[in-house]
Structure 1
């Protein structure tokens, strides 16, 4: 039900319905839903088979407060929170929900997230089954990239999108030094501030052996760095 403008009242009605227990996939993007409507979906006792929820392009700032104090029973495997202005407090709340322990795909593009949010995700005791994580167009910076690089919880992660996140060479070096890199097949670092130093670190990394996609478009990488990347990764890398 994308772009139907169901608002909070509609989301609460969906969450309260006893006739929707067989729904597996629910798409509610761009519907004018706020924190109370989203919280109702997460806490619904009826959406027992729901595995995939797309609630992107709704303004969910304040979700942390809406979620607090309620029981959360929906056990999702895929969750899209892109372009929701989610904020770090809501990420901290979601990262602690036991009902999200089976989550394998998480997208929070344009979520107004900072380095603290990345640290929360990296240290979550719940999100250990993530396979794909997308944080495109946030502000996690070098500190956030370093936190993700040092994460011991992402043993299953194979796709990581950190495009447009104000990440510089220090963040690239941290990722290049991490065993996390050895598990990734897709790594997006487009639109950041990575120069030759970061490029050379990725080239020299003993862990960067599995890439099918390495995106470095829109970074200030010079001719020497570009040549080194192409020599190492061939057509896998895009710049």
Structure 2
């Protein structure tokens, strides 16, 4: 399930790209398939071990173009272990809402992005997230969980102050907001609740089969109820 539009990001084969806070690796895997030189970065060593293993499986199964490369790197988003201007493209999907010093993290991302490079930042959208917070204290109080709710304007302003130029906004995963509201309402731990199980089956069907009905429904719902907001930025060219 991808959140970022790589065409809009401007990703091209051979470019060096960073997936900051890669988690299970969904965006890193797709960028690898598209022929990029990918670094999957996270602070969770167990997640990174799984990502590395899947990178290897993709390569062995011939799922990536010749010349594409992929690696993992463990570290701190507030002190990225990379050189200045090292990356052509950066994805930071559903990460900043977890980081207390988000402004420092943004400055680090700008530092390692080359002039003229692009970055996609995605976070939970304000309205769907606010509903989740109202329905469940556990949703946002768990260790390592969400510590803030962004408005689009707030994140755009923070990114602009860090030196980026805003190029556009999209919303994604409109079918997922009601699912999370339902989970928050019945209890996050109650995955066996009949309504939660039924809705989860719907989402799995949507992700794996991509039927026309749910593609149309999500297209209609995204502008109103999209669970994620995706903001695209460019680092100005050097003068």
Is the pair's TM-score, using the shorter chain for normalization, greater than 0.5? no
More strand, by proportion: 2
Larger-gyration structure (1/2): 1
TM (normalized to structure 1)? 0.29
More helix, by proportion: 2
Larger RCO (alpha carbons 8 Å, 6+ apart):
2
TM (normalized to structure 2)? 0.29
